Structure 1
Amino acid sequence: MARFPANWSPEAVVFDCDGTLMDTERHWQDARNRTFREFGLLPPPGFAERAKGVHYVDCGRLMAQETNKPELTADLTASLLEHFLFLVAEDPLTMPGASEFVRLCARRLPLAVASNCPLVAVEESLGRAGLRKYFRHIVVPTVPPGEPGAAEPAESPEQENPVRPKPWPDVYATAARLCGVPPRAALAVEDSLTGVESAWRAGLRVLGVGPLPRDDRSGQADAWVTGLDSEEVLQWARSWVSDPDADAGQDPVGRKPL
């Protein structure tokens, strides 16, 4: 936490979903393995780490490239998405401390989600976990027409322009704008280096969550904590609200930030 300015606090918080709010990274890994098996392919060594945080359309393309099966790109992508949606609907679990941290932040600040996941997966997992109501906005990449999971134009009217997936900065820049704050006034909460890079490029301050990666890109985060259940990060968040219990039980959607 030491790298944040001593007197700085966010005016909005933008969360990643997979691996940050929801324990769905294991579902992606399972979905990738099931897809490889479905097509009689072996996962290349180290593929799981390379695929972490990557948009599923790009992941399907990567799966095809690394197994020398470019002709299967569309089929692998469609199968990956189908397996993932089935798994996340069966077993939506929050990451340790995520629910408490979200509810604490929502008492005074506008919250958003910036995810590389399909919109339906984010909505489904957050809804079943009881967290959807705390987020004013959900921003996901625009899926090109014809790709598996492509949304109808009216499905996400807030996103007027095409939004590129992480590590492009678009999802975080759009989320901060929708929350009504400049990027440097917003905090991004991320678990993957792909997401950290996206938020850093968008100009947000970044809180990394989980084991500190051995990669130069980890320096793009302002601070890292082992989890959102750490007392250090909860105490820091409590400092943003003058009376943490004043609004307990109230629906935070639509409330103005301080």
Structure 2
Amino acid sequence: MSKISGAIFDCDGTLLDSMSMWYDMFDELFRSYGLEPTSEAIDKVEAMTIPDTCTYLHAELGMGGSVEELYDHVERIVTYDYEHKVSEMPGARGMLESLAGAGIPMVVASSSPSPFVRKALACHGMLDFFSDTLCTADVRQGRDKDFPDVYLEALDRLGTSLAETWVFEDAPFAVRSARRMGLHVVGIHNDHDGRDEDFIRSWSDIFTHNYDDVSLEAIHTFDDAARKATPEEA
């Protein structure tokens, strides 16, 4: 049987139904500089931190008069959209309430800058569920979620063990990274975000669409002895 003593949540696509907002933001950003957004460019920056994204877009595509100007432009768009265009992921609040009611500490680990995340969660009345919010750019070497750095820092902040900490994630590369380091993973797939469901499912301990297949009871009764192998272990 499994036990949970701490939880790490992603924000975009996990707590908030905001992935389409980011795609729309990139579309608006590209067009504001007279450029046509391409799937190749979007795929390139998806796993990057926002500062790294702005650095890349400025250096490679000539966006903005400076990286700082571009970052400020992104912040204005995102701050408005989080407040006016984004809703909660169905079932996310219920999951947070269950964990909080059981006294389980929670932190957010996001690729988005912490000020963005705190504003977004505050707008939706979710911020107080969390003891801390972490951003990949602010942790250790500032690497993205292809690396375990932000999860290691989250474990330190929670003070919980690897074996008893669960991660809630929707990004395929992040689900894989968390599982590789030995964390238990709830993989969340939103049908309209266009992400690879089979990939997320293959790396998840519990897989769900919009929290419909996950609960605190399901986590408590998860059988570690029957834990499926990852694609790398199979």
TM-score band, normalised by the shorter chain? Answer: 0.7 to 0.9
1:206-246 CA-partner distances (Å, limit 9, x unpaired): 11101572665753322321121x1x312635857xxxxxx
Q: Compared with structure 1, are the counterparts of its residues 124 and 41 closer, same or farther at alpha carbon in structure 2 (3 Å cutoff)?
A: same
Extract unaligned runs of 5+ from structure 1.
1-6, 144-158, 241-258
Distance 1:189 1:169 in 2: 14
Q: Tell me whether 47-56 or 119-128 shows the greater mean CA deviation.
A: 47-56
1:150-209 CA-partner distances (Å, limit 9, x unpaired): xxxxxxxxx6x5543322211111111211112232110001113213323443111110
Counterpart pick for 2:94 among 94, 97, 100:
100
> Map of 1:15-34 to 2, 5 A cutoff?
15-34=9-28
Residue in 2 aligned with 1:170?
Answer: 149
Residue in 2 aligned with 1:121?
Answer: 116
- Give secondary structure in 2 for the equivalent of 1:164: coil
Distance 1:71 1:51 in 2: 14
Contact 2:47–2:144 (CA under 8 A) maintained in structure 1: no
Residue in 1 aligned with 2:3?
Answer: 9
Residue type matched to 1:186 in 2? Answer: T
- Give secondary structure in 2 for the equivalent of 1:142: helix
The alignment status of 1:236 with 2:217, answered yes or no, reads: yes
How many matched pairs? 214
Structure 1 residue 104: Cα displacement: 0.6
Residue in 2 aligned with 1:199?
Answer: 178
> Map of 1:37-48 to 2, 5 A cutoff?
37-45=31-39, 47-48=41-42
Identity of aligned residues (%): 25
The alignment status of 1:134 with 2:134, answered yes or no, reads: no
Contact 1:142–1:163 (CA under 8 A) maintained in structure 2: yes
Residue in 2 aligned with 1:185?
Answer: 164
The structure that is helix-richer by fraction is 2
> Map of 1:59-78 to 2, 5 A cutoff?
59-64=53-58, 68-70=60-62, 72=64, 74=67, 75-78=69-72
Structure 1 residue 98: Cα displacement: 0.5
Contact 1:141–1:163 (CA under 8 A) maintained in structure 2: yes
1:91-117 CA-partner distances (Å, limit 9, x unpaired): 342111000011111122111111111
Counterpart pick for 2:208 among 225, 233, 246:
225
Contact 2:33–2:63 (CA under 8 A) maintained in structure 1: no
Q: What is the TM-score of this pair, normalised by structure 2?
A: 0.78
Distance 1:133 1:221 in 2: 27
Alignment root-mean-square deviation, CA:
2.7
Contact 2:105–2:130 (CA under 8 A) maintained in structure 1: yes
Q: What is the TM-score of this pair, normalised by structure 1?
A: 0.72
Distance 1:237 1:217 in 2: 18
Contact 1:92–1:129 (CA under 8 A) maintained in structure 2: no
Residue in 1 aligned with 2:196?
Answer: 213
